[in-house]
Amino acid sequence: MKFTVRPASAADALGLARVHVESWRESYRGLMADEVLDDPSFIIRREQFWTAALTDARFTRHAVAAAILDGEIVGVAMAGPATPEGPAWEKQLYVLYTYAAVHGQGAGAELLSAVIDPRDSVALWVADPNPRAQAFYRKHGFDFDGTSKVEGGVRELRMTRLPDGPSR
């Protein structure tokens, strides 16, 4: 498979929303409430989010990338300034999703590289359990820092990466 990864534009909002929603349904079924995953307005709300992320001045310091395969958006990533609880790192990876059909084909790695400079210190939150995603991030230099939270009923673990490799 040959992917093209490029900066996302406002015209991509619906495609990004579809990837976002479907990847949650593929990955989080059993972790998240079915009412959330099956809500008919879920895709509309995600499209509104992506439209804002790509047009609103609040997101100007964020990078958003789309992975394209055969003219279809199959992945999305977004990174930006670290949240206030993250003084030890510069950036935070907020989103990295691909359709399950393209897992293991390189789109995730290309998306990660498109939104995160390898010289930046980075943090992210990953659902637990989610062994596939956790292994992906470990492969790309992230490690658990011992911090966890529960958000929306889902347990999440924080992973960080310093510019010279995993943090501990």
Residues 15-25 have a mean pLDDT of: 97
Residue 160 pLDDT: 95
Residue 50 above 90 pLDDT?
Answer: yes
> 41, exposed or middle or buried, with CB in 10 Å at 0-12, 13-18, 19+?
exposed
Domain 4-118 matching CATH 3.30.365.10: the answer reads no
**What is the value of pTM for the model shown?**
0.92
Please check whether residue 90 is in contact with residue 120, taking contact to mean a CB–CB distance below 8 angstroms: yes
pLDDT digits (tens, 9 = 90+) for 72-114: 999 999 999 987 765 678 899 999 999 999 999 999 999 999 9
Please check whether residue 46 is in contact with residue 20, taking contact to mean a CB–CB distance below 8 angstroms: yes
Residue 61 above 90 pLDDT?
Answer: yes
Residue 168 above 70 pLDDT?
Answer: no
Q: Measured between alpha carbons, how far is 46 from 94 in angstroms, rounded to an integer?
A: 14
Residue 164 pLDDT: 62
